[in-house]
A and B are shown apart, each in its own frame.
Chain A
Amino acid sequence: MEQQTGTFAVKKGLAQMLKGGVIMDVVTPEHAKIAEDAGACAVMALERVPADIRAQGGVARMSDPDLILKIMDAVSIPVMAKCRIGHFVEAQILEAIGVDYIDESEVLTPADEEHHINKHLFKVPFVCGCRNLGEALRRIGEGAAMIRTKGEAGTGDVVEAVRHARAVLGEIRRLTTMAEEELMHYAKEIGAPYELVKETKELGRLPVVNFAAGGVATPADAAMMMQLGMDGVFVGSGIFKSGDPAKRAAAIVKAVTHYNEPAILAEVSKNLGEPMVGRNVSTMPEIEKIAGRGW
C-alpha cells in the first residue's frame, strides 16, 4: 500500500503526542529556544502575544511568514501559527510554509462572521477554540483535529479558562447519562452534528485532544486545568510578559506533568519573579472580550 499523508488519524495523532504538555506563545526565534529548553512540547509563532494585541488594538492578522519560518528553523519541536477565523487563504499560506498546526484563532480579528474554514480540505491539522460542547463539536465537524477551550486570552485571569473547561467537561458528563433517544434533541439544542454527539457519549470525552487556554499565568493555574481534566495547556502572554520567562516556563512545564503532586507544585512555584500584569475579566467591558468570536 502507498503511504497516505494528511489523514485524520495523523492530524489528530500529532495532538495526541502533545498531551500532558505546554504549548507556548513565542514572538522571536530566541523566545522559541527558551521555550524548547524549558520543555515546551510545541510553540505558537506569532508577531504579538495576545496581551499586546489587546493593548495595541487595530486589526490582528496572520504573522509574517518569514518570522514563522525563522522560528521553525530555531527549534526541533512542532511549530503552530494562527490564522483569522474563516480566512482560508491565510491558512493556505501557513500550510505552504509547512507549519505543523494551524490555530484558527479568535485572538486575531475574524475574517468571516458566519463561517469557519473548511478544515477537511487541508493536509495540515487545525486547532480551534470553544466555550462549550456545541462549539467544540461544530469545529470538529468542520475538520478540527484538536480543540482548546478559549478562556480570555491576554488577561492572565484564569476565570474564563475554568468556566469554559467546566462547561465542556460538565456537558460531556451529562451527555454520558442520556438515553439514546435524547441525543437528537440534544444535538439540535447545542447546535452540534448528531454523529459527533453520539461518538462523544460513547467515548466519554471529546473525539480529539482538548487543551486549556486563555489566562493561564502560573504553575498553579496550569495544574488546576489538568486536574479539571484537560489534556494539556496553552500559555500565551503568561510566560514572556512575566519577569523571568525561562524560569516560569520551566515551572509551568513541571506543573503540568506533576499536576497531582502539591509538594512538587509548591517547589516549582517558588521565586518565579513577577507574573504578567493581569486584567480582571469580571470588570472588563464586554466589547473588549474576544472569547465571543467564533460561531
Chain B
Amino acid sequence: MRIGVLAIQGDFAEHIAMLERLGAETTEVRLPRHLDGLDGLIIPGGESTTIGKLAVDFGLLDPLREFGKTHAIWGTCAGAIFLSKDARRSQPLIGIMDITVERNAFGRQVDSFEADLEIAALNPATQPSAPYHAIFIRAPIIESVFGAASVLSTLPDGRIVAAQQGKLLATSFHPELTQDTRFHQYFLSLAR
C-alpha cells in the first residue's frame, strides 16, 4: 500500500515516519502528479493558510477534490481545516467533508494541551478500551458535523475533536506526535 503525505508545509515527516513504522510505502506530495498511484493521503498539521495558498498556486485543489471522491484522506489539525466545507473565514479549502471547523478554538499556544480521549473506533470490541492520549496544538474544534459525516470522538465537555465521513477522517489533534500507532492503523484500514 502506498500512502501520500501532503508535503507543502507542516509536520509531514512525522506522519511519514509513523506510516513507515507500520510498513506502508510513502510519497511526499507537493504537485498534482505526485498523487498518481496512491491508495490514500494524509494532510498533516501545519498552517492551514500556508497550505491552502500553495495548494492553489500549484493547482492542487481540484486534483485533491477528485482524489477524495474515491480514496481515503485524513487531515490532522490544519489538514482537518483544509478538508472542511466551512472554516468560518475566507481561505482556500478542499471542502469535501461535511464539517464546520473553528480555527485556534482553544486560544493561543499557551493554551495548547494534552488530554486522554475515548475513541471507540480504535478499540477492538474484544478488548477493554484504552484511552487515546492526544496532543492539541493551537487546535481547531469541529463545531458541527452534518450530512454524511459523523462524530468519532469528543472532549469530556462534548466538543467534537474527530469525525469521519466514509473514507475521510478529520482530527483536531496530532497522532503523528505520539508513539501510539492506532490512529494510523485505523486510517490504513480505510485506505485498503
Query: B1-31 interface mask toward A, CB cutoff 8 Å, 1 = contact, 0 = none?
Result: 0000001111111100000000000000010
Number of interface residues of A (CB under 8 A): 42
- Report how far A101 CA is from B110 CA in the complex, Å: 9
Q: Which of A19, A42, A254 has the most CB of B within 10 A?
A: A19
- Report how far A110 CA is from B54 CA in the complex, Å: 38
Q: Which listed residue (A4, A9, A16, A76) contacts B11, Cβ 8 A?
A: A16
Residues of A contacting B138 in the complex (Cβ-Cβ under 8 angstroms): 14, 17, 78, 100
Contacts A5-B112, A78-B109 supplied; 6 other A-B pairs, CB < 8 Å: A1-B116, A4-B114, A14-B137, A19-B9, A20-B9, A257-B8
B109 touches A100 (CB 8 A): yes
* Interface residues in chain B, defined as those with a beta carbon under 8 Å from any beta carbon in chain A: 7-14, 30, 45-47, 49-50, 53-54, 57-58, 77-78, 89, 103-104, 107-116, 131, 135-138, 174, 177
Residues of B contacting A5 in the complex (Cβ-Cβ under 8 angstroms): 110-113
Task: Determine how close the nearest CB of chain A comes to the CB of B83; give it in whole angstroms.
Answer: 17
Which of A33-41, A85-93, A175-183, A282-290 forms contacts with chain B? Answer: A33-41
User: Given A7-B114, A10-B137, A19-B13, is A257 in contact with B47 using a C-beta cutoff of 8 Å?
Assistant: no
Closest to B14 in A: A16
A19 touches B11 (CB 8 A): yes
Residues of A contacting B115 in the complex (Cβ-Cβ under 8 angstroms): 1-4
* A98 CB-CB contact with B under 8 Å: yes
B10 touches A9 (CB 8 A): no
A9 touches B114 (CB 8 A): yes
Residues of B contacting A101 in the complex (Cβ-Cβ under 8 angstroms): 109
Residues of A contacting B104 in the complex (Cβ-Cβ under 8 angstroms): 76
Name the 7 nearest CB pairs between A and B, nearest first: A100-B109, A10-B112, A3-B113, A41-B47, A16-B11, A20-B9, A1-B116
Closest to A232 in B: B9
Task: Determine how close the nearest CB of chain B comes to the CB of A6; give it in whole angstroms.
Answer: 7
- Could you show 14 A-B contacts with beta carbons less than 8 Å apart? A1-B115, A1-B116, A4-B113, A10-B109, A10-B137, A17-B10, A17-B46, A17-B47, A17-B77, A20-B7, A21-B9, A21-B47, A37-B53, A257-B9
